[in-house]
Structure 1
Amino acid sequence: MAENGNGRQVYFVGGGIASLAGAAFLVRDCGFPGEQIHVLEEMKILGGSNDGAGNEQQGYVIRGGRMLNDETYENLWDLLSSIPSLDQPGLSVREEIVAFDTAHPTHSNARLVNKEGQVEDVTSMGFDMADRLAMAKLIVTPEEKLGTARINDWFGPHFFETNFWFMWATTFAFQPWHSAVELKRYMIRFMHEYPRIHTLEGVTRTPYNQYDSIILPLHKYLEEHGVDFTLKCTVTDLDFKEGDGITVTRLHYMKDGAEQVLDLGEGDLVIVTNGSMTESSSLGSMTSAPELLGKGSSWKLWERIAAKKPGLGNPSPFADHIEGSKWESFTVTCQDSRFFDLMEAFSRNKAGTGALVTFKDSSWFMSIVLAHQPHFRNQPEHVKVFWGYGLFPDRVGDYVKKKMSDCTGEEILTELLHHLHFEKDRDAIISTANCIPCMMPFITAQFMPRALGDRPKVVPDGSTNLAFISQFCEIPDDVVFTEEYSVRAARIAVYTLLGLDKPIAPINQYQYDVRTLLQGFVTSFR
């Protein structure tokens, strides 16, 4: 870790996309020397929740996949327009993604599948008048009036049996007990997607997984500008200047098994990823189930500093309800194309042109998606990789009579093949596949019901040198669980702390667009 020099230093706690974006904005927009930018990351790899790793022998793993959107990810696209492509000289990462997405457009032909293994017609949203009225009322009700209301406080039982809910819940990973405020924000932010939720045509795909397509080129850009990365370094606490206001004076961290401190100089900045949706993730295997773990360092850091100063938020609503925030994903590495061939014929989508295929009658509420292949830079041509997840890991399966959370990778794959009615090919598929389950205790923690003030402002009132850039800081009107939220937070943090008078790409206000409103109204009666 570099020592403070004559110039002011900036320390990013956490090495996810928000910190990398913040570092890039410092270099690009603030003329900041890379040597004075420091990224401190607990893991041995950068990228945070934008992960993607593995090989043919041990199997590949993606804990989750982020879906991008061309119209709503304003600051992400601005950032990626400045980052050179690793594979196509002369193109930016933004241009590379647009070219790939144009060549491989999304149009799902099999969004929902029933227990008979038949693709459902999802043209109709399935609403009754009570559902429509509740939806309209939710959109116009101010957030302060909604407070900590849950989605199932707002909608009756019928709503949760509609095609709309099955598709919306699995596209964005909403649960009935999640925050009504977050659903309202999503409905407004993605209002333009509502008429095509059944095909997901608005989804923008990256050429590979997000680590290979976004994090790697961003990392290389920052390295070339001399940014300092310190991996396997865990920040455990912050000290503050006494008295009113918020000024960080010292960082406490663990490195190489030793507790160390770093005193900040005048003008130095600390930008913290508070909380983590993928913290304490645990992997299983074909023969073992993953463990359910508890809080890790990012939650504990937030708890420590929030107890020291007012205005730094309240982690408890997000960190202390694992039963409401967990679900389980799985990544399957296939040594041949048998499963992909069957799935492409079943779904009528070539891999990479469809979207989530959701088994709406599945006890685990299971979905899978086949990305364009190869999905990893080092993936051999004969190897195929797909991803899936279950929103209800504590329920007993329909064919494998165990909770999903207790199942091995082989058992999860067995359950999936039964739902697809691929029993005839089951043994052949399983014998050449490696299914790696992943339990994520906090994966939808950002959707848990919260009160005003539970999420700290990006730059808290009275702060001179501290900002927050996670999915657990507050950006009015924007939606968590997106790349855009992280990048927007980073841009706000950097510009605000440095007093930079530059515009931040505004949020598209689709709720004021008459055409979008009319299309949404018509869709609700389909």
Structure 2
Amino acid sequence: MTQGRQAYLIGGGIGALASAAHLIRDGGWRGSDIHVLEAAAINGGAMDGSGNADEGYIVRGGRMFNFSYGCTYELLGFIPSLTDPSRTVLQEFQDFNELNKTEARARLVRGGAIVTDVDRMGFSARDRIDLLHIAGQSEASLGKKRIDECFAPAFFSSNFWLMWCTMFAFQPWHSAVEFKRYLHRFVHEFPRIHTLAGVDRSPLNQYDSVILPIETWLRGQGVQFHGSTVVEDIAFKPQRPGAAREITAERLYLIEASGPRTVVLGEGDLVFMTNGSMTAAASIGSHEQAPPLRSAKTPEWALWEKIARNRRDFGNPSAFADHVDESFWESFTVTCRSPLLLKLIEDFSGNPPGTGALMTFADSNWLMSIVVAKQPHFANQPAEVQVFWGYALFPDRPGNFVAKPMSECSGAEILQELLGHLRLRAHEAELMQHCRCVPVKLPYITAEFLLRDHSDRPAVVPTGSTNFAFVSQFCEQADDVVFTVEYSVRAAQTAVYQLLGLNKQPRPVYKASTAELAEALKTLLS
């Protein structure tokens, strides 16, 4: 029995929620002994969805799913559906994706026309050699190399790069180590990156489809959620000279709505910390106004910096937090009160909503992509309203049709740029009457891809820890890849199993079969 022991989860994102779920299912904990401490008023972290039909819906980012996400699908396999408690969220996912198969017919668009040779990767002989070389190198030998240090300039205009970088949000200056990990982790997707047929989608936005069912189940188990609660510091047991390394959290210093409070940790209490955040300092604009760019350290980053000061075993947050110019991009959500725009996009692409996944405008100065999801995309979305999402990797460059950087554009101007790439400017006046575009700046969105030393990310459970773990995109897990839901859920499972001393391991990272490797090689040679 765990009666009397308390668990404190710092952050309310998927890593923390998964930790709580596995404490209950695998550890036998009572929900009432688990506390989620979240600085915001709502849980979910990067897996969000908000807004309304009048002011415009908002999706800051979109997480893709894949059959190889063994840890995530295990979690969703014991969370009940909100619409039918006799079924699980995983069953909802499986049914939805069986009925709504992804088969992009307009993966790349150039000059207002669909690129028809996307099944050919556009590799030169040197590109093939360079890909095999980076895939075969050790992480130690790659060190802090950038991706663009490993390839010729022409590689970055190939069909492969345009599809790969927009599917996963890589920039040429990002870490070659992370790029290598992705090559290994998703080699089974090589033959279908031009159709994205291997991508699973959530039935609704990810807050409604994933976060809300997990949170509802946790609340039903008695888990205590403390919103608008900032953890300012953690006090650890002093290290005795000559003693074996020990990491034991002793006190949490909180700032709550009612004021400061100190939590004194007892014997057997546990702390799970979400260190860093990809959506920290996100700023929301409007159809009429560009969002500001914020880079002030939020609680997720400030706490990590504080506890990591003079402790290399807690990682190096500055490697990820101090390079906003290399981790920033901008997304946008379009809300339509007329079916015209989605109908025009469907006529152009050949994909009904929910079947096309990413459409990337290859000649966009911003490198803009859009995703038109199955409608409705929100649980409260009126029948006459449609919603779609997009993002751009180079928001500081002038647009092709709007003569200013995306970062300075209102939602209306971003929508004008999109209509230009779709060659729909003739419909602009009518569409602007019925559509609202809400842009969002995300200064840390790809911080996890930045150049790093191996020790810059702490272990999930640092050596010597008795009661403390990291569960986030910024802890180290061999072989698996950041910027995925799977990474956070794997960290949560690892933390629970190790801190509770359970004879259990997370499911192994998926490895491609011989047949999948053979198909990938064919794609490489295409």
Shorter-chain TM-score tier: over 0.9
**Aligned residue number for residue 517 of structure 1:** 517
**Aligned residue number for residue 375 of structure 1:** 377
Q: Distance in 1 between matches of 2:383 and 2:480?
A: 40
**Aligned residue number for residue 258 of structure 1:** 259
Query: Is the counterpart of residue 43 in structure 1 residue 53 in structure 2?
Result: no
Deviation at 1:484, TM superposition (A): 0.5
Asked if 2 retains the 8 angstrom alpha-carbon contact of 1:246 and 1:309, the reply is: no
**Aligned residue number for residue 137 of structure 2:** 141
**Aligned residue number for residue 278 of structure 1:** 279
Asked if 1 retains the 8 angstrom alpha-carbon contact of 2:312 and 2:455, the reply is: no
Match of 2:51, SS state, is strand
Q: Of 33, 41, 55, which aligns to 1:58?
A: 55
Between the two proteins, what is the percent identity of the paired residues? 52
Q: Of 12, 16, 20, which aligns to 1:19?
A: 16
Asked if 1 retains the 8 angstrom alpha-carbon contact of 2:338 and 2:384, the reply is: yes
Q: Distance in 2 between matches of 1:187 and 1:95?
A: 29
Q: Of 303, 315, 318, which aligns to 2:320?
A: 318
Following TM superposition, the consecutive aligned residue runs of length 4 or more in structure 1 with deviations greater than 4 angstroms are none
Read off the aligned partner of 2:132 and give its amino acid letter. A
Q: Distance in 1 between matches of 2:193 and 2:115?
A: 16
**Aligned residue number for residue 466 of structure 1:** 468
Q: Distance in 2 between matches of 1:116 and 1:8?
A: 61
Q: Distance in 2 between matches of 1:290 and 1:450?
A: 29
**Aligned residue number for residue 233 of structure 2:** 237
**Aligned residue number for residue 499 of structure 2:** 497
**Aligned residue number for residue 213 of structure 1:** 209
Read off the aligned partner of 1:101 and give its amino acid letter. N
Q: Distance in 1 between matches of 2:518 and 2:52?
A: 48
1:385–1:299 CA distance, 2 compared to 1 (3 A) = same
Read off the aligned partner of 1:25 and give its amino acid letter. H
Q: Of 504, 507, 510, which aligns to 1:508?
A: 510
Asked if 2 retains the 8 angstrom alpha-carbon contact of 1:330 and 1:437, the reply is: yes
Read off the aligned partner of 1:93 and give its amino acid letter. V
Deviation at 1:101, TM superposition (A): 0.4
Read off the aligned partner of 1:370 and give its amino acid letter. V
Deviation at 1:12, TM superposition (A): 0.3
Read off the aligned partner of 1:521 and give its amino acid letter. L
Deviations along 1:448-485, whole A, 9 cap, x unmatched?
A: 01111000000001111110001000000000000100
Deviations along 1:58-78, whole A, 9 cap, x unmatched?
A: 1100000111001x2001001
Match of 1:434, SS state, is strand
Map 1:83-94 → 2, pairs under 5 A = 83-94=79-90
1:308–1:249 CA distance, 2 compared to 1 (3 A) = farther
Deviation at 1:254, TM superposition (A): 1.0
Read off the aligned partner of 2:248 and give its amino acid letter. T
**Aligned residue number for residue 353 of structure 1:** 355
Q: Distance in 2 between matches of 1:140 and 1:257?
A: 55
Asked if 2 retains the 8 angstrom alpha-carbon contact of 1:59 and 1:332, the reply is: yes
Asked if 2 retains the 8 angstrom alpha-carbon contact of 1:114 and 1:120, the reply is: no
Read off the aligned partner of 1:247 and give its amino acid letter. T
Q: Distance in 2 between matches of 1:315 and 1:416?
A: 36
Deviations along 1:82-111, whole A, 9 cap, x unmatched?
A: 011111342110011000000000000000
Read off the aligned partner of 1:111 and give its amino acid letter. R
Q: How many residues align?
A: 519
Asked if 2 retains the 8 angstrom alpha-carbon contact of 1:117 and 1:419, the reply is: no
Map 1:147-296 → 2, pairs under 5 A = 147-243=143-239, 244-256=245-257, 258-294=259-295, 295-296=297-298
Match of 2:314, SS state, is coil
Match of 1:328, SS state, is strand
Q: Of 407, 416, 419, which aligns to 1:417?
A: 419
Map 1:390-401 → 2, pairs under 5 A = 390-401=392-403
Read off the aligned partner of 2:278 and give its amino acid letter. M
Q: Distance in 1 between matches of 2:356 and 2:3?
A: 53
Q: Distance in 1 between matches of 2:277 and 2:169?
A: 16
Deviation at 1:257, TM superposition (A): 5.9
Deviation at 1:118, TM superposition (A): 3.8
Read off the aligned partner of 1:248 and give its amino acid letter. A
Deviations along 1:317-337, whole A, 9 cap, x unmatched?
A: 100000000000000000010
| Structure 2, unpaired ranges of 5+ | 240-244
Q: C-alpha root-mean-square deviation of aligned residues, in Å?
A: 1.1
Which sits farther off after the overlay, 494-503 or 268-277?
494-503
Query: Is the counterpart of residue 10 in structure 1 residue 12 in structure 2?
Result: no
Asked if 2 retains the 8 angstrom alpha-carbon contact of 1:125 and 1:164, the reply is: yes
Q: Distance in 2 between matches of 1:267 and 1:257?
A: 28
Deviation at 1:6, TM superposition (A): 6.0
Q: Of 336, 339, 342, which aligns to 2:338?
A: 336
Match of 2:292, SS state, is coil
Match of 1:204, SS state, is coil
Q: Distance in 2 between matches of 1:36 and 1:25?
A: 13
Match of 1:203, SS state, is coil
Q: Of 96, 103, 111, which aligns to 2:99?
A: 103
Read off the aligned partner of 1:423 and give its amino acid letter. R
Read off the aligned partner of 1:18 and give its amino acid letter. G
| Structure 1, unpaired ranges of 5+ | none
Deviations along 1:372-403, whole A, 9 cap, x unmatched?
A: 00000000011000000010010011111111
Q: Distance in 1 between matches of 2:36 and 2:227?
A: 8
Match of 1:392, SS state, is coil
Q: Distance in 1 between matches of 2:199 and 2:472?
A: 23
